[in-house]
Structure 1
Amino acid sequence: MEGMKKPQAKLLFLVVIGALCMLALIGMMKKEPSQDLAPDEPLIVEDEKVVMAEEDNEKIKNIEQQYKESEKETTGVVAPDPDSPQSLETITGEELADFDYEGKVKKRVGDKAYPVIMKRAKQAAEAIAKGDKATLKEVVTPSLMQRVETEKVKLLSEKEVTSIDVFPTEQVNEQDVIIGTIISAGELAKSYSLIFVKENNTYLVDDFVLVWSN
């Protein structure tokens, strides 16, 4: 009996020791301060490269702003912002003049001759579209009319013309005056350049060139 009681007593002793150790461990955990952050202190983790890139961008913006301010102080002109779209008001007069075909034609022929040329361009375009040689003869040079008569230059023969538009276009040389035209007749659409020359103090069509056709 005494031999059996000794192992039981030993086991009971180990259980008691284990329980005491558990209680001691729980007590220590309660005394340690919480490692969690307070609700009002969120954890913010930023990549070091991202932070450096943002700082570099900010420095570049500051340098650009200082440059613009210094340029404005010295020249009185504000440097344009490359990120903002360029409006017509900010485009220089020289850039606008490149597309002012009407102004260029008026400067070359004069304000009085300009409407006459535009009227003859419309008349010539209608005659070309319909194949009307009689009307065409009134507004073209004799040399062009001869080429039409000999069919070296061929006209169209559209019976119903939908629309005809004439407009000044880019001038490729200093001698001639070029007027563009678009002829629409049903499903047909053609664009010609009418080339005017000055003969006997008046402007007449000396040639017409097909630009595009559908």
Structure 2
Amino acid sequence: MRVLVVEDEPDVSAVFRDFLIELGHEAVLVRSAEAALPALDHERPDAIILDVHLPGLSGLDFLQLPPVRDSGLPVIAVSGVATESQARECLRLGAFDFLGKPVAFDRLGEVLAALEPHALHRQLSVVGRSPERRRASRVDVVFPVRILQYHGVECQGWAEDLSPFGMKVMSDAALRAGEAVKVSFTLPDGGPPVRVNSLVLRIDRSGHAFYFVNLTAQDFERLGEFSRRHLTL
């Protein structure tokens, strides 16, 4: 992935750069929110690491700018003054995740790994293809689904089909293909709710197709068992 790092401290920025390169990503470094805006067009990043406390426009200001919101890019907000209220505000304004400084790089690596399908979809959509959609048999279902967009809007929908890799949902939600959201639902046979970051793969008359990004191993097994059981009914 190409990751735009918005960080005003050169030493910290260099640490992010080295870590990203070690993971096989490409780093684009800027030192202010103002410099990050043209980089959205010129560098075409797949994700953003954003320091909340920046000179000039703050990270919170940056998150609210229309070009940033319209880009649909996932933003990882980082802050040396990591309070619960600040984390909530970043997430409310659309950040994908919030990490305190000093950043736990194992956690940052996990977040970046969760974002890779998002980057893949954006890249493939440029050439008119989309990720594989039928890696597992889908089963017809009917149950309610909650959809939470990263700027805080929550919508409701009804699941139509399901597999361990994704689901189709009928909803009036105003979503865009490639957008990252959180979906939550409870399987008809009970158990704890499934909550998973998801990508909107496509939208058509038959509904919204979601691809699960960071499904836990336990939930993957639950969905697989649910699908296998209902395929044999």
Give me the TM-score of the superposition, normalised by structure 2. Answer: 0.24
Structure with greater proportional strand content: 2
Give me the TM-score of the superposition, normalised by structure 1. Answer: 0.26
Greater radius of gyration (CA):
1
Structure with greater proportional helix content: 1
